[in-house]
Structure 1
Amino acid sequence: MTGATDGHAEDHGRVYQAAGDQHISEHHHYGKDPAAPSGPDSVRRPAVGRPPVVLRDRAEVLERLRAGRGGEVYVLYGMGGCGKTAVAYTFFRLATEEGGRVGLWVNASDRSGLRAGMLAVAADRGAGDGELLAARNGLRPAADLVWQYLDRSARPWLLVLDNADEPEILRDGSWLRSSPRGTVVVTTRRSAARWWPGAELQHIGVLPRADAARVLSDLAPHSGTPEEADQVAEKLGRLPLALTLAGGFLSQQVLDPWTMDTYRRHLEEGGGVELIDRGADALSGEDPRHLVGATWRLTLDAFESRGLPEATALLRLLSRFAPEPLPLVLLNRAEIDGALPRARCETALRALLDQSLTELVDVGARCVRSHGVLLDSVAAATPAEELQALAATAVRLLDAVVPGVPDAGPYDPLHRLLVPHGLALLRRAGDASAAADALAVTIRLCAALHRTGDYLSAGETVRTAADLAERRLGAEHRLVLAARSREGRALFRLGRYAEAETLLSRVRAAQERLFGADDPDTLDSGHGLQLVLGNLGRRDEAVTLLRATAEGRRRTWGPAHPLTLRSRSSLLVLLPVSEVVTEEDGSLLALPSECVRHLGPDHTVTLGARHNHAWVLYGLGRFDEADREIRLVTEAYLRRFGPDYPITLAARQLLSRTRAALGHGDEAVGIMTDVVARRESGLGAEHPFTVAGRTLLEDLASRRRPPAGG
């Protein structure tokens, strides 16, 4: 070897040549900047995108936090965008400015950021460079070093661990501890108590209505009235992040300022998440936590990385439904396999609950509830190729819990809970086929509501469903017409006879023209229409239509079908008593026995036939027989439906007549007094049924009074 360099290197190769003993140290730097230990620029100032102008409705939480004297660990948990960091920021400011504490703020969203931030906390509390270097290089336990200096702090402190959405990071290395010298506040989406042993958990949810409106007014005071702010706040689901973004957007407009009312209209016209996120323009950086449309993407990515794709699938399925309590019974069914394996549904749901993406609520049935802005965000980001399968699965799940053939019965809270979800499926329907499937289930749901006596909900729901579906399917689609027919039946039961007659006549005419006179849908509308005509006093028209309906149902369904027997039973009360006796050679009087033979003694149609038969007996003056019959029917109705059910009240009204006819006037008045009171409560004082009951009561009462001067 000579003194010159004998070798050469190409690309990134290296050549070492030495004469004598040498010690060589290599330093490798990649990128433009020299490598250096990274850490936060400050732990004394909260790293937040936009501090709250005014914190609304969190006084109780702040009071709880301020009551601490040291040694506490508080965990503020809730869904993304609900304002956990804003609460922590406000408490931080109060603790440092008014409480004299040292404030320490660490972003705990990832392992490296947490480690660097906590070591910076140790440095702030007095740790030396050598100790810190040893901890960074793994030569001494880093968490022990940090907490050693926190425990020795001369001044009391507040430590905020923000965005700790992966508590596994805190547990590894035991970063989360308590100390008598200070208070720890953690913000997280993870709600499961197992992650936070010994901590006090505090849920942070959406704002109350009034406070949500005030947030908008705080941020954009000149954009609208308090009432308009209230409407926008409701559209945004009172989610603090969405409110902040909306207020920011409204306050930023210069060339063409929007009012709150304009903003609300754009939301209703489909502006959605994209419009909300336009208010983030003034925020520094591109942290997805500052955007409604992206904040939950962090959690979905975490599901994928932890091998929980079914949690994402379940959330996408939930996004087909409404932001209202969704009964858990829907999710525990084999039909869910169209979106995710049923066996994995429990795991998926627990993951969503743990990440505060949904919550358990009990509203008479165990349910889950997710925020509307979250569901809209997830729906907007769902891959197009998954939408059809998700929509079909959601409809099948709803279909599985709605009665196949809705029957009369007592009020069922499950039906009312399902209403917003049926309408949500219609709103999110991507094509005509999906809309038709969703409408078919919703019509059946409305029939179930109707037959529990909840006529108002049934009518409003089916009208909304028909309006939504008509845009996609057209006004003369079979299912749209069926929905309008169901709406007409509800209008009748609500006492709105003129509206019911107009609607049912129009629908029946269209059905007869399109499908024929003996089509089941045409016959259903005919049966409903004859009820309206009879109560409008147009008995001849009603009888003609009812005869045609009964005969059409006999041809279509056969003589023993429940619908055929129901129409024939209606003839018992619509025909004059003299005609009932001679009708079909007196066979109408034997109809209850025929119903028992074909349907059984407890079938709703059988009970209805016996009820109507008792009316005929009363009309014939056979009061003892009528009284026995209607008493048995009333007892059956009370057992099955309860005292407030409409047909129970109708039966008791007839019972009051038979008791009076048999000389039991006081009993008759007592029965009818109760019937009128219940009708006033359920239907209103001016409903025709209530008015008719009140008239009968006055008549019964007048019969008991002694004659004048007697």
Structure 2
Amino acid sequence: MPRWLKIALAALLPSVAGAVVWGLGERLGADLDRVGILVGLVGSPLGFVLGWWTSRETPQPVETSPAAPSTRPMAPVARPPLCLGEVPRAPRAFQPRQALRARIDAVFAAGGRAAVCSLAGARGVGKTHLAAALARESLDAGRPVAWLGAETPGQFQSGVDLMAHELGLLREGDPPEETVRRVREWLTARAEPYLLVLDDAADPDLVGPLLPPSGAVRVLITTNDRDFGHLAELVDVERFTVTEALAYLRERVGPGDRGGARRLAEEVDRLPLALSVAAADLAGPPRLAYDDYLARLRATPVEVALERPRGEPYPRGVAQTILRAVSGLDEPAHRLLGELSVLSASGVEVSLLGEEARPALADLARTCLASFSRDGSVVLVHRLVGRVVRERAEREGTLAALLGRAAGRMDEIFELGHADLWHRLPYLLMVAEQSQALWEHARPLREDPAAAEPIVELMHHAGFCLNELYDGRRAEPLYTQVVAARERLNGPDDPATLTAKHNLARAHWSAHRFTEAITILQDVAEARARTQGPTHADTLLARVTLGQLHRDAGRYDEAIAMMESLLPECARTLGETHELTVAAGSSLAIAHALADRPQVAIVILRMILAQDLADPRLRAATQGVLAIAHQRAGHLDEAIELYEEVLEGQTRALGDDHPEAVITRHELALAYQQAGRLPEAIALLEHVVRADEALHGPDHPTTVEARDALAAARRTPDGSLAAARRTSGEDQ
């Protein structure tokens, strides 16, 4: 069915419900005064109506009509962006490590298939900076680079989604594995040079499906895991050689005591990260002699809590170097480093930290405890530095405070993007990733409600908003973690746990995973009835939502039967004007509408419009739905007249290119095309394409849809109804 109808019908759920209840009341001989009170409630869900009206996206939220997923990917872009992701900038006194570089070049020079090279080594040996040097060299030569973090499944999938979006390959509603497959196909088919870096990859099974089997693409993986040798040519990255360590200290600190430099290099196991932190301290101000620094370094206490990770060098001198640098920070820099250490290793945008953080950032950069992306927009804390800071905080009992401050900062950033979710999606995705990083770093404290609660609430908040944007695919992992946390912290039948499960079902729903969603909601409804009673509002809500799920899964008979049973029960228990009663009636009406009964919809909508709908935008939405009902019934003249009236009011009140006006103009164009008024349809669609490109960008699915509609209209040899229906997809 047409996208517009699905959205518009969903937008008027409460209004239609009021009309249905009115009709039922008249048929049953109920008191018309009481029925009138119920009908008067139709204006209450304005905010919900407007949320639907401002977008033509069509995934499945709670209490909305179903929407079919798109079957067409975005048109692939002719030229990928030069740089995708955050490539680290070159550190001071960077050592090119020619022997390692020669081995990488040898792997990339091998022909016959895609070149995949894995830089394997312990943390702090310089794998990422070596990969970044190759990336910067490629960018300087005009060859595009994609830099994706691959430490966790969420971080990896976020990077792949971003890459798919930038390449015009992202498709609404696809599971993650399908997006990975589509990007892999693009990489395989690429004939021109392209560098893909997967930084800090942890799981060969996770990144393996992305690696192209052939083509001109070069893939560089940095990892601590030598098992990546099964997927790629393995290049071992060790600590600096003595020559490299001394060359680094000479360039970074200056010529001087060669013996002292050698002693320091051995003290910190010639680990590049530790040498960079020590060199920053040595260079001052004030400048320190090597032996003086060594004496102070050896006096820095390191507790047993800093254990050596399996397979990684973590000598005492490395931890002492980092802790000495941390101890020299002033309070603002110390606090900021603590927050950054419990956030994602992919970094935080500098602009989100505020102007007051700039002195602290400068202090962290000066001491080499933090670095920046190539363009300086993102601040990064090395994973080994972060681990030292977190372990010390855990030992000192301050980890919960660090996590709480970082969660609070993310919540503040989240509020920046909360007012207009549709246009501030990057903020939301960033908060979602950071909340998962916080939850990972809170592992030692997950049983402590005081420490875990702020992070669980942050994940819940981010997941809820992703659900509001009908992005169930991204909301699912968040709510899976929230449900597990709630079960541990609150118990399986606690209301907060059941709410989290309800929202997980919503995420499955909008991801079109109806079976999983129905199974979860059945359990929620049974648990609500058992613990809160069969007539509790939460129990009824679960049952109503379950009916809506059956409806959107195409099980109209089951949905109608459930809603016909629930409607009088909701009215008797909660009252005829309660929002849940209205929602039950609305769902019943929508189920009938989706069963292709447009005449019934027309009668109901005319009854609604006969009421005093004071808000003009709500009246316009109702008229738009009535226009769709007439259009489905074949009453094109009535539909066009209503569309034109709605469009005139919207352009006068909201502006010519307001999203609501653009939506109406698009649907009016389709009605013109069906009525044989082809020149008028083409003129409107040209306007729609220009407006969508300005609002969403040229590769957004909405823009692509409008552009395809325009191309189809231009190809239509006549304005016949059959041709127009084929164009609009009604015969599919």
Scaled by the length of structure 2, the TM-score of the pair is: 0.47
The higher-RCO structure (CA 8 Å, 6+ apart) is 2
Larger radius of gyration between Structure 1 and Structure 2? 1
Scaled by the length of structure 1, the TM-score of the pair is: 0.48
